[in-house]
């Protein structure tokens, strides 16, 4: 693949973004000008598309008629998710740590939804080198490939962990970031690479800071699983939920359908939105104890939780201000915590 100058890449990407407009513009629905116009039958690359969040994005894109390519090495993604995909979805098995794989995956792609990562704060503390290789070097590989392929827009899955243990709530994008774990550091470094590629090469990038995502297809059996799927697995087996601390820690638990909406909104947001970072959450706080109690009500159980010492790197409270995402991206969390929890429980019972 031949290299082009930064100016060629910039003008090429912008020229492609106006071909075959699919959406009517809605000038009065955004804080900035007009909606970005996505091409008819746009081609999307979802890295980590066999994973929890990625597979939901793939399903949504396919349902509305877009062409979808998945890049996944199945280090954390699920082959069961991949096997249930429609035949028209193209699956590439490979790692974002391989630049040649990234180059092949981005050929002819309009939008990259970059979900692939090595997740988990505890895992990053145990193996910071592996986390950095995937989350930083892998993201850089994808940005270079997207730049060289003339991709229209690159949407990056970041994390609320970048804020660190700041006392101020809710978290706003204007706050200084003080990441305190290798995982959080890698996500912030990847954000900064996205912003640099936007400024230097004209690649349209948007970074979405996810807050405590949960929902169907989330793996409860991983040693690095999140709180809600772990609670579900334990309670369903008649075992007590485990709190690391007293359970008063709070999170802005966000149902996965809201994260899908945020990614789709980022793809059609006005060009002025690019280069920015945006919180993606519900804008509410629920304690870990309250989440476990809500699950017990839905499951009809009453099991006394077990408490364990707090884990290194765990943030005490997390609560998002989503004003910016609402105003600039047109994002709106349509599924509440309670609704999402009920849907998750029903899926888990039937899985």
3-state secondary structure of 179: coil
Q: 32 pLDDT exceeds 60?
A: no
User: What residues contact 277, with CB distance under 8 A and at least 6 apart?
Assistant: 158, 173, 191, 195, 206, 207, 208, 209
> Which CA distances in Å does 305 have to 47, 235, 314?
37, 10, 19
Task: Compute the C-alpha angle 185/133/139, nearest 5°.
Answer: 75
Using CA atoms, how far apart are residues 187 and 204, in angstroms rounded to an integer? 18
- In CATH, which superfamily holds the domain spanning 7-217+254-284+319-334? NAD(P)-binding Rossmann-like Domain (3.40.50.720)
Burial of 174 (C-beta count, 10 Å sphere; 0-12/13-18/19+): exposed
Give 210-231 pLDDT, tens digit per residue.
Answer: 999 999 999 888 766 789 999 9
pLDDT at 328: 98
- Exposure class string for 269-280: b at 16+ Cβ within 10 A, else e: bbbebbbbbbbb
pLDDT of residue 74: 96
- Domain edges within the chain: 7-217+254-284+319-334
- Output b/e per residue, 192-219; b: 16+ Cβ within 10 A: ebbbebbeebbbbbbbbbbbbbbbbbbb
Can you say whether the dihedral through the CA atoms of 273, 192, 75, 108 is positive or negative?
Answer: positive
User: Regarding predicted confidence, which is higher, 280 or 85?
Assistant: 280
Q: Is the pLDDT of residue 14 over 80?
A: no
CA distances to 84, 95, 132, 137 from 126, rounded to whole Å, are 33, 21, 12, 18
What is the C-alpha separation between 111 and 139, in angstroms, rounded? 15
**Residue range 106-156, pLDDT digits in tens:** 999 999 999 999 999 999 999 999 999 999 999 999 999 999 999 999 999
C-alpha to C-alpha distance for 47 and 38, rounded to whole angstroms: 19
Which of 44, 183, 201, 255 is flagged as catalytic?
183
Burial category of 128 from C-beta neighbours within 10 Å (exposed 0-12, middle 13-18, buried 19 and up): middle
Question: What value does the mean pLDDT take over residues 257-285?
Answer: 98
What per-residue confidence (pLDDT) applies to 39? 52
Question: Rounded to whole angstroms, what are the CA distances from 93 to 74, 78, 79, 105, 343?
Answer: 8, 12, 11, 10, 30
Position 165 scores a pLDDT of 86
Beta strands in the chain (DSSP E): 43-47, 67-72, 90-93, 111-114, 153-159, 204-210, 213-214, 242-244, 250-251, 254-255, 276-280, 286-287, 306-308
Residue-level pLDDT at 19: 34
Between CA 280 and CA 43 the distance in angstroms is 24
What's the pTM value of the predicted model, to 2 decimals?
Answer: 0.88
Check residue 10 and give its pLDDT.
Answer: 37
Distances (CA, A) of 297 to 22, 58, 213, 294: 44, 32, 21, 5
Catalytic site includes residue 348: no
pLDDT of residue 40: 56
Q: What are phi and psi of 92, to 5 degrees?
A: -110, 120
């Amino acid at each position: 693949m031949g290299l082009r100058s930064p100016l060629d890449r910039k003008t090429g990407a912008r020229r492609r973004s106006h071909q075959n407009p699919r959406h009517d513009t809605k000038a009065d629905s955004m804080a900035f000008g007009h909606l970005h116009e996505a091409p008819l039958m746009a081609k999307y690359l979802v890295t980590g598309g066999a994973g929890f969040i990625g597979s939901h994005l793939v399903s949504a894109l396919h349902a509305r008629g877009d062409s979808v390519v998945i890049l996944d090495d199945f280090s954390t993604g699920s082959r069961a998710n991949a096997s249930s995909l429609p035949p028209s979805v193209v699956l590439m098995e490979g790692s974002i740590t391989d630049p040649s794989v990234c180059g092949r995956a981005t050929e002819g792609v309009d939008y990259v939804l970059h979900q692939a990562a090595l997740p988990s704060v505890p895992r990053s503390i145990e193996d910071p080198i592996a986390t950095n290789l995937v989350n930083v070097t892998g993201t850089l590989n994808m940005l270079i490939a997207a730049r060289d392929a003339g991709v229209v827009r690159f949407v990056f899955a970041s994390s609320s962990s970048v804020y660190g243990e700041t006392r101020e709530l809710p978290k706003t994008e204007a706050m200084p970031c003080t990441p305190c774990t290798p995982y959080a550091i890698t996500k912030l470094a990847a954000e900064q690479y996205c912003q640099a590629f936007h400024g230097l090469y004209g690649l349209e990038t948007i970074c979405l800071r996810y807050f405590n995502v949960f929902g169907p297809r989330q793996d409860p059996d991983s040693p690095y699983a999140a709180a809600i799927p772990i609670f579900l697995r334990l309670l369903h087996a008649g075992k007590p939920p485990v709190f690391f601390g007293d359970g008063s820690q709070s999170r802005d638990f966000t149902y996965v359908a809201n994260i899908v909406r945020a990614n789709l909104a980022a793809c059609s947001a006005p060009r002025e939105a690019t280069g920015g970072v945006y919180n993606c959450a519900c804008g509410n706080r629920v304690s870990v104890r309250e989440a476990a109690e809500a699950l017990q009500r839905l499951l009809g159980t009453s099991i006394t939780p077990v408490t364990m010492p707090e884990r290194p790197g765990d943030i005490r409270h997390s609560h998002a201000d989503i004003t910016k995402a609402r105003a600039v991206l047109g994002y709106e969390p349509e599924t509440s915590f309670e609704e999402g929890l009920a849907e998750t429980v029903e899926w888990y019972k039937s899985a």
